[in-house]
Amino acid sequence: MAVTLSWFLGVNTKSPRSVRDPMPDEIPLETHYDLQLPNDVAVAPDGDRVAFVADEFDEADDERHSTLYVAPADGSREPHRLTRVSEAQSPKWGPQGDRLAFLASRETDYARRQGREDDAADEEEASSDDGTGGDDGDEGLETQVWCFDLSLGGDAEQVTDFDEGVREFDWGPDGDRIVVSARDPTEAEQEYLEQREEGGPIETERLQHKFDGVGFTDTVTTYLFVVDVATGERRRLDDAYGAGSSEPLMGLQPAWGPGERIAYVSVDVNSPDVDADDPDDTLVVDVFTIAPDGSERRTVTVGEQRCSDPVWSPDGDRLAFAAGNPTNWYQPTEVYVAPDDETAIPYSVSASLDRTVARFGAPRWQDDDTIVCPFADQGRTRLVELDPDEDAPTRVFDSQGRDRDLGRFDLAGGTVTCTLASPKGGSDVYTVATDDLETGEEEDLTRVSLLNESFLTEYEHPMTERVTFENEDGREVEAIVYLPPGFDREDPDAAPTIAAIHGGPMSYDAPTFYFPHAYWCSRGYVVIRVNYRGSTSYGSEFAETLYGSRGELESDDVIGGVQHLVDRGWADEDRLFVTGFSYGGIMTAHIVARTDEFAAAAPEHGIYDFYSTFGTDDNHNWHDWEFGMPWENVETYREISSLTRAGDIDTPLLVTAGGEDWRCPPSQAEQLYVSVKKQDVPARLVIYEDEHHNIGDPSRATHRVEELTDWFRRHDPAIETEDGD
């Protein structure tokens, strides 16, 4: 639930909220619950079918569910729903294409488990069940691997049964085994976990003592296990385990090749640069391979990069993977290739592109001679073909266009599947034959799903336009502008305008489907999203400009983008608003410390005092490599903190935070809020209890949009509220 503290501190909480019903052309807030948003895709080995996961929102139970679907790749029939309610994720097809495995937290499959050696214990557990069974997802259940046999039909069967659950998995080439990553506590660690569940104290000697979404960390090691699909019997690979500060975020990412080798990523605790007793003080991550019996572990990479997403070539001789500079994330993450050989040196096959592997992007082998991977390129995600033998990238898939963004991606059997999202077209699953990637014809693209047809047809949706402008340094900067339906670009009526700032900062904005954009534009707002300096997708030099600084360059670009819209007559200079989440929240606070041009602002889930956040968030390694230690560089930490200039803030602030956000701790929001309140600046603080860095529950997601909108309306000089404010 959201805890609003403004009543206690004397803020006038009366606002336009609930004083009027939506106008006929406005998108109602409750339509958010009707949306289905695809978030993962997988192509069958023969390329004929696509599995995908879609997020759905249950208003009655206030829950987000992830549902698994299967559809023919040619779009010849509607997707078939395989699961309901439970949190399905990470679908993976078996090597013969007759089975589909996935991760889910579901009620125990008692019938599936009867054949195991621990029958008596299983029967006792089953008899204590509440009898609901089926697909009733439950927060108390651990995530396991489940599998549909699509040739026989019926419900999914449970494959694994780990006390601590399963985080990741991949199929073996024979289809009889899978490799999974799972935590395996010692007896002493199990005792500690049990006393923690009973409210006992947190005890740790780890440097990475907390992680967002995980909470306080412990010493339990995550291992790879090979599991027999038919019996559930498992073998732990003792030499294949997770380590380091990145492991809670990255996992081990196991990938089983066509032969008897398994690839995974971890910190090399045997490296001379790593403290084997506490390897949390590094961001280097290496690629390893190991045999499924736990023998012959090899180190593929050389301990210099942050590697991820290993994938085997079809012949099983080479690995492709993503790798970037562990102490400079502004530099592009590139695709590397290496044979499964400790003596070989990995080489980049994308360096000349000067673009970074896209968010959610990972390389896929089309065949032994071609790799396909999504890259961030000029304010969008697009596919690039790579030659595994040399650095010769080729941009492909022009049929995507410039007005929609590519999200999730997979490739198999001559078929590419991906999610494409646009402001007017929503977000759906598409396919294209690999042979048609280079031609770029729209008719070669097949739409597999139409998840939000009624929402898309019942309401008008934003128009978008890419605009470019020169910042104060004379550098060209691009922004994505969302315009209200019917907005006249050539003869405009200046509109209230929201500058919405992306996080990262190593990220970028592209034209996409996002409910708050549609909601605001339907109410007459223009929304501008500036790809400020530090954003990826425009090359390493543009991104690295921000290295070692905070506040000045990015705020110049955002303010310049808004002024560009004012100059064009699109934005009303008296009705300007600014907001941003995470790094966007950081930037929002910097902007209002520099200018009074905005009528109201809403920094969300940000950091405002980098000095005091050190050690209270989970980003100490990042802060160290970019700014050094705070006690050694006090002036730097003060200079990059907006709180240092809180006395210059006059703009009304809505400050939000997650109650258990360890990326940008809620104490940061409290500091900013109290600092401006002490100066009688209108302010409101909203804390989402039990939430991490992101907003999860649907009621909180809609509450967030409502809070932002009401704050802007409340401080809009053109709107007279019932109180006459």
Question: Quick one: DSSP state of residue 680?
Answer: T
- Residue-wise pLDDT tens digits, 335-367: 999 999 888 899 999 999 999 999 889 999 999
Residue 458 binned pLDDT confidence (cut-offs 50, 70, 90): very high
CATH of 248-395, one of 2.120.10.30, 3.40.50.720, 2.30.38.10, 3.30.420.40: 2.120.10.30
What the block records as the tokens of 268 is 């090399």
The pLDDT tens digits of the residues spanning 97-113 come to: 999 999 999 876 544 44
**608-628 residue pLDDT tens:** 999 999 999 999 999 999 999
What average pLDDT does range 453-467 have in this prediction? Answer: 96
Distance separating alpha carbons of residues 459 and 518, to the nearest angstrom: 9
Residues of the chain with CATH 3.40.50.1820: 460-685
DSSP element (H, E) containing 408? strand 405-412
pLDDT at 415 over 80: yes
* CA dist., res. 355 & res. 343, Å (int): 28
Pick the CATH number of 460-685 from 2.30.33.40, 3.40.50.10090, 3.30.565.10, 3.40.50.1820: 3.40.50.1820
Task: State residue 697's pLDDT score.
Answer: 83
Buried b (16+ CB within 10 A) or exposed e, 326-364: beebbbbbbbbbbebeeeeebeebbeebbbbbbeebbbb
Q: What is the pTM of this model?
A: 0.92
How far apart are alpha carbons 715 and 588 in whole angstroms?
A: 16
Q: What is the pLDDT of residues 262-298, one digit of tens each?
A: 999 999 998 888 888 889 999 999 999 999 999 999 9
Mean pLDDT rounded to a whole number for the chain: 91
DSSP SS3 for 262 = strand
pLDDT of residue 59: 86
Domain with CATH 2.120.10.30 in the chain: 248-395
Span of 128-132, 369-373, 571-575 with lowest mean pLDDT: 128-132
Tell me what percent of the residues of the chain surpass a pLDDT of 70.
Answer: 91
Contact criterion met (CB below 8 Å) for 723 and 14: yes
At 275-284, the pLDDT tens digits run: 888 899 999 9
Closest of 413, 416, 412, 370 to residue 397, by C-alpha: 416
CA distances from 676 to 11, 373, 670, 681 (A): 12, 46, 10, 5
